[in-house]
Amino acid sequence: MILYDPFWKTLKKSSESTYTLINKHKISSSTIERLRKNQPITTTTMNDLCRILNCDVKDIAVYVSSDQDQFL
């Protein structure tokens, strides 16, 4: 399961906020909601967030093994 807990920590340390992500950087409010709910986001969005926050992917998301993972 991909969790976005690191994103919220990174955002808190930055000069950005959800408001600036939405209004200045044009990240959709639905994307912010997806991050809140640990739902999938695109790699393009991940790239945009890394660029905006000047961070690495590991500062946005982390993988944690879960029983809820899709069976392969």
List of domains in the chain: 2-63 (1.10.260)
In percent, the amount of the chain with pLDDT more than 70 equals 100
Give phi and psi for 17, each to the nearest 5. Answer: -145, 175
Q: How far is CA 45 from the centre of its chain?
A: 8
The pTM of this model reads 0.88
Q: What is the block-wise mean pLDDT of the chain (72 residues), using blocks of 10 residues?
A: 96 97 98 97 98 98 84 74
Residue type at position 19: Y
Beta pairing class for 62-63 and 2-3: antiparallel
- Sorted by sequence, the CB contacts under 8 Å of residue 64 that are 6+ apart come out as 1, 3
> By three-state DSSP, how is residue 37 classified?
coil
For the record, the structure tokens of 7 come out as 């994103």
